[in-house]
Every structure is written in structure tokens, then in C-alpha cells.
Structure 1
Amino acid sequence: MYKIGIPRGMLFYDYYPLWAEFFKELGAEVIVSPKTNKDILNSGVLNCVDESCLPVKVFHGHADYLKDKVDYIFIPKMISIRKLEYCCPKILGLPDMVRFSIADLPPIIDTTINLRKINYTSSKYKKAVYEAGKYITQNKSKIRNAYKKAWESYERYLYLLSKGVIPIEAVKMYNKTFVDLNYNSKNHDMSIMVVGHPYNIYDEYLNMNLISKLINNRIKVMTPEMVSKDEIIYYSNQLPKRMFWTYGRRIVGSAFSLIEKDEVEGIIYLSSFGCGIDSILIDLIERKAKSKGVPFTLLTLDEQTGEAGIDTRIEAFIDMMKWRNKDDCDISTFR
């Protein structure tokens, strides 16, 4: 039985149920690296070029952890996942960066996914699926059936997200027959949107368990994954120019949607230091929040970030929101 390694980084919380079920249906054993910890972070920093952003460094650490434990490491080359849009350059080049940065790696399954001019039903996309499956079997019928079942699992995962389940929990729940869809619907004092790239929002080590801390403070947490694609497209189209970064569109569209519909009382933007795309997105969302009187704060993460500083920022933000809502709602959020 082949062992396929899936690093717990970058697009893990976007597609893990799809990837894992696909390889399991083909008869492979799927091994996932553990949650990010100090050793994985340090390994990533040592094995990656200095100019890379923190999530890419962390991903290198996860790949390095898996290299002696699996027959293959699955790192697809995600060029485009939507027509006329692109993924971030660091995602496009991820398999090559890992291949040339870490010594003694097993073969990398770097299937190219490029839907800029096609869609999920095209023959070119099906060819990409077969390309990934051929590492395990040459039987095209088996690969096709495995992908069909994997997609069903992925749809269950997306359904959980649409019901307000945090992806961290949805990954554990998507293949169960019964799930508690009230995970994020318990009594809460206010709602806050945590916005940013998924590899910043859902890596509990990098963001110092931000989501858990908010939930423990009776905060209802909203994330971009909980907003429908139609709403994301509609509200992102309010921009004067087309957003051609897929994740940029998701971040802006989801934030604009919740702000315009008055469904959140505050926004926390999680960004990794040196992210070029975030430098634009942060300004767009902060301006929209300011125009609607919605409190906004930015948390920037890097390998030197200390938890005490993050905790202080979170506590101050929540306290100021509660104080403003209770006593001084006529005071401007932005001074």
C-alpha cells in the first residue's frame, strides 16, 4: 500500500477532504503532518528562502516532516481554480520551491490544476485527475469512481462550512453521518469576522488559537468560507476593476457582504508579514468598514510574533467594542 503525505499547510483547509478521500478510495494510506508546532516552524524557516512569507515557510516544515514517512508527497500546482482568475504566485510555485529547498524528498505528486480557461467538467481537468491517480493505479475507471466519491465528501464539507462550522472542526466531521451544526451558533454577545487567507485563519499555532479565544469570549466567529460564492462574486464586483486573484476576490467579497448586510459587529484581519496581496486587500476592507462604522483591526503574523502581544490586541479590541456598544455607540469607531 502506497503512503501519500499531505502537508497540513497552505490550501489544506480548502481541499483536504477532497484530496484525502480521493487517495483513500484508490487504496492508498493518507498521512497528514501534525498541526503546526515550534519544531515544524523552525524546520520550515531553515529549509526555505528568507524572502518567502510565513505560511510558505511553515509549509516547508510540514513537507520536511513527511519526507521520511511516505512514498509520495502531494503538492498540486494550483495555477487557477476559477475562470479568468489566478492563485497567488507562492501557491503556483509551491511544489518547485519545496523540491529544490528540501533534500532527500520522495517523489512529489505535483499535478497541475489550471481552470483559467476551462471548468471542472472539461476533459483537461479530468486529465489532471487521472494524472494524480496514476501514481496509485493505472485503472482509469477506478480513478474516475474514486474522484466521484471524493467530490461527494467535499460537498459535505462545503455544506458544513455553509452552516457556520469552522473548517478546523469541519475537517473532523465531514465524513460522519451525524454532526452538530450548532457548533458556532451557541449564545454569544457579538459577532466578529476573522478575515484573511485560510492558512492564516486556521493554523492555530500561527495565530495563537485566535478563533478559540474569540469563541471562549462568547463571540460568534464568521470567516470567508461561510459566505456563499454568489454573494462573494456580487459584492466583489463592486470594485471598479476586476479582482483577478481568487483568494483576493473571496476575502474582499465576503467582507463586503457581511459589512453591507450588517451581519458582523467587528472585523479582525489576519495577515502574514510581507504579503503583497494583503497590502491591497487590507486597505480595501478597512475603507469599507470605516464607511459603515464597523470596528476594524489588523493582526500581522511572522515567526517572531509573541502570544502576549496578540492576546493584548484581541482583549483590547473586544473590550472597546463592548464599551462602545454599551455606553458610547454614538462615538466614531475610527477616532
Structure 2
Amino acid sequence: TINSFGGGRKFIAGNRCERPITKRVPSNDMNMYSYKLKLLDSYKPVEGVRGKLGIPMGLNMYELYPFWYRFFTELKFEVFKSPHSSRKLYQRGQQTIPSDTVCFPAKLMHGHVQTLIDQGAETIFYPCLTYNFDEHLGDNHYNCPVVAYYPEVIKNNMKDINKVHFIKDYFGIHRPKDFPNKAYEKLSFHFPDLTLNEVRIAAKKAYEEQDNYRKKVIAKGNEIIEKAEKEGKLIFVLAGRPYHIDPEINHGIDKLISGFNVAIISEDVVSPRVEKFNTHVLNQWTYHSRLYAAAKYVSTRKDMELVQLVSFGCGVDAITTDEVREILERNNKIYTQIKIDEITNLGAVKIRIRSLLAAIDND
């Protein structure tokens, strides 16, 4: 909408892209979400004699792809991931979604798997993972049920999955000592020519790769914090799940917020700075533990604010939102929540962020 005023002045509203209007381009060098996407895209397929192995890029794979990429590359598979999420990709798998109440990130997995099938993947690897890595922040370290067991939904609702070799076995990456033997037991059923020694070497490399990935994320996060401190910039912890860095899921909220001249980091950058502490809820989910730790850390910093991203249909976030709010407000911090689904209108988000910044200024 263009409103014209006297003197040739105009006010333009409703345009999602502000760049041609404000001539401002949000900086990506202080945006952790952009950095993570770029880092994950750096893992390129390497030709392997055991054939092509596709991994659907969604849910927990936004964090664990480095692990599985290195593991299967070392086992001489050509590992590739599904392309970036898009509306077209979502629609590819839309007809196979059994429940409309599940969160949008889970719905997207149908499109990712269908795309891998259409691209000619010989094998698709999408494992069930009850546990995540233990970061010693909570009482346990589970994945939420959707993240943990969604491969079962894919197997039982996508007819085309029978066109490929689909591996959805249960793995325990949280136990490095047991992982090689257990992984060999499962994978040798699918690939009889595998040897235990091969799997042991690949597992060692995979854990090293995941550790290196985490170190890069932490280092970049620390760099953003230090640069923001020097420039006197406000730092926003855009807290959510690993898959919230997917632009199709967050709808560019990270870039929108960085357009307000603030630095963007994710919750896993600051959560390691906090020791385990008591919460009012059972703290048994890895992603939740990070949220609580990030909220506690933000509470100690005048130059940091936390904005929580919540996907519609995420049942367990009914717990996290109350706990994160309580941690922040107990320390006189403002709690801001942004709910997101497949709808892309960011008008309300702008209002929330402007209101938060105004409240900070008044304070």
C-alpha cells in the first residue's frame, strides 16, 4: 500500500522486502542463523563406491548432519542432503501427511524425503534417535517424540518410500563407546560387505566432525558477541530448535530482526556458559535444556534479549514457554515469543520486535 502526502512524500506499507525501500541490506556477518546454514552447505558430496545415500535435511538433521555426513562418507557412500526447504518442496509431500496437527517442521520432512526419492537416491538414511547428546544441562537428554520417531511416520505413510532402500533403524549416538558395535549390527544387515573395523574408524571420524562443527558454532557465536560488545550493539538470542534456522520455517525472521541493527545468535551459543540448575519442570529434553540455560544466561546480561521461536503444533513447547518466561521475568527481563507456521506474513513479527526495542529503550 502506498500512501501519498503533500510535498511528494510517500509511506509504503505491507512490503515484505524492505531493501528497495530503505536501501538497507541486513548484515549476515553478525547473524548466527546465516552462518549455520552456510556451514551446513559446506558439506559437499564425495563420490563413493557404495552408491548414493540421501539424508532429508530437516528436524534434528540441522544439527546432526555433520556427524552422519562424515560417518557415511568414511564408509565410502556418496552422501548428499535434500535441497533447501521451499513451498514447492513442501507441496511435494503434502498429500502423505497423516495429521494436520503436527508441527510444520515435521510436515516438511515428507517433502524432503519425496525430493530425495525423485532425485534418484538409492538409499535414504533417516534414523530414529530416542536420545540426543548429553550436554549435562538437564535431568536427561531425550529428543522430543516427533524428532525421535518421525521416521516411523514416513515409513508408514509414504508409498514411494518402498522405491528406495529406507533405513530408519534406532541408533544411540549418545553412547560413543557402544555406537560402533551397535551401528555395525544394524548396518551390516543392510550392507553385508561392511566390516566392523570400517565402522569403528568411521564412527571415530564422525564424533570428531560433530565436535569440530560445535566448536565452529561456538567460536562464531563468541566472535559475534565480542564484535557486538565493541560496537555497542544489542544482542538477540533467537532461541528455538536447530531446525528453526531453516528459512522456510522461520520465514526470514532472523534477517528481519538483524535489520533493526542488532546481532543475532542462537541459544546453543550461550547455553554452555551455564551450569546445570533447578527448574520448575522436568528438564529431560536436550533442546529444552538449552532454552532454559540460554534464558538464565541472558538474565545476567544487560546487552542481551531473548526471543523464543515456537512452531504451531509443538506440544512440548507448552512447557518451555512458561519456564523460559519465568526465568526471564524473575530477573526483570522481557519475554518475547513468536509463533510460526506455514503462513509467511511477518507484519505481526515487526510489531513485536519494535515493541520490545521500545520497551528496552524506555527501561
Partner of 2:177: 122
- Relative contact order (alpha carbons < 8 A, sep ≥ 6): 1 or 2 greater? 2
2:247 and 2:82 mapped to 1: Cα distance? 14
1:284 and 1:228 mapped to 2: Cα distance? 15
Q: For residues 311-326 of structure 1, what are the structure 2 equivalents within 5 Å? A: 312-326=347-361
**Maintained 8 Å contact 1:111/1:131:** no
2:127 and 2:85 mapped to 1: Cα distance? 20
**Structure 1 position 142, deviation (Å):** 1.6
Establish whether residue 301 from structure 1 lines up as the match of residue 340 from structure 2.
yes
Partner of 1:5: 54
1:240 and 1:295 mapped to 2: Cα distance? 19
1:8 and 1:165 mapped to 2: Cα distance? 23
1:231-272 CA-partner distances (Å, limit 9, x unpaired): 2x51xx32145412222222222222222x226532211111
**Maintained 8 Å contact 2:103/2:313:** yes
Q: What is the TM-score of this pair, normalised by structure 1?
A: 0.81
Q: Which moved more, 1:182-191 or 1:103-112?
A: 182-191
State the aligned residue count.
301
Establish whether residue 196 from structure 1 lines up as the match of residue 249 from structure 2.
no
**Maintained 8 Å contact 2:180/2:203:** no
**Structure 1 position 64, deviation (Å):** 1.0
Partner of 1:77: 128
Percent of aligned pairs with the same amino acid: 23
Are the structure 2 counterparts of residues 289 and 65 from structure 1 closer, same or farther at C-alpha, using a change threshold of 3 Å? Answer: same
Partner of 2:5: none
Are the structure 2 counterparts of residues 282 and 160 from structure 1 closer, same or farther at C-alpha, using a change threshold of 3 Å? Answer: same
1:267-304 CA-partner distances (Å, limit 9, x unpaired): 2111111211101111111222222232222211222x
**Maintained 8 Å contact 1:164/1:184:** no
2:327 and 2:340 mapped to 1: Cα distance? 23
Larger radius of gyration: 2
**Structure 1 position 229, deviation (Å):** 4.0
Partner of 1:266: 305
**Maintained 8 Å contact 1:21/1:153:** yes
Partner of 2:215: 159
1:183 and 1:35 mapped to 2: Cα distance? 28
Partner of 1:291: 330
Establish whether residue 56 from structure 1 lines up as the match of residue 96 from structure 2.
no
The counterpart of 1:42, out of the listed 73, 79, 91, is 91
Extract unaligned runs of 5+ from structure 1. Answer: 167-180, 330-335
Are the structure 2 counterparts of residues 33 and 275 from structure 1 closer, same or farther at C-alpha, using a change threshold of 3 Å? Answer: same
Q: For residues 209-220 of structure 1, what are the structure 2 equivalents within 5 Å? A: 209-220=252-263
Are the structure 2 counterparts of residues 91 and 182 from structure 1 closer, same or farther at C-alpha, using a change threshold of 3 Å? Answer: closer
**Structure 1 position 29, deviation (Å):** 0.7
Extract unaligned runs of 5+ from structure 2. Answer: 1-48
Q: What is the TM-score of this pair, normalised by structure 2?
A: 0.75
One-letter amino acid matched to 2:279: L
One-letter amino acid matched to 2:344: G
Q: CA RMSD in A?
A: 2.5
Task: Indicate the SS of the match to 2:101.
Answer: coil
2:232 and 2:52 mapped to 1: Cα distance? 43
One-letter amino acid matched to 2:149: G
2:355 and 2:101 mapped to 1: Cα distance? 36
**Maintained 8 Å contact 1:270/1:299:** yes
**Structure 1 position 194, deviation (Å):** 0.9
Are the structure 2 counterparts of residues 165 and 191 from structure 1 closer, same or farther at C-alpha, using a change threshold of 3 Å? Answer: closer
One-letter amino acid matched to 2:180: K
1:173-213 CA-partner distances (Å, limit 9, x unpaired): xxxxxxxx5699464631111111222x2111111122223
**Structure 1 position 230, deviation (Å):** 6.6
Task: Indicate the SS of the match to 2:289.
Answer: helix
**Maintained 8 Å contact 1:224/1:250:** yes
**Structure 1 position 33, deviation (Å):** 0.7
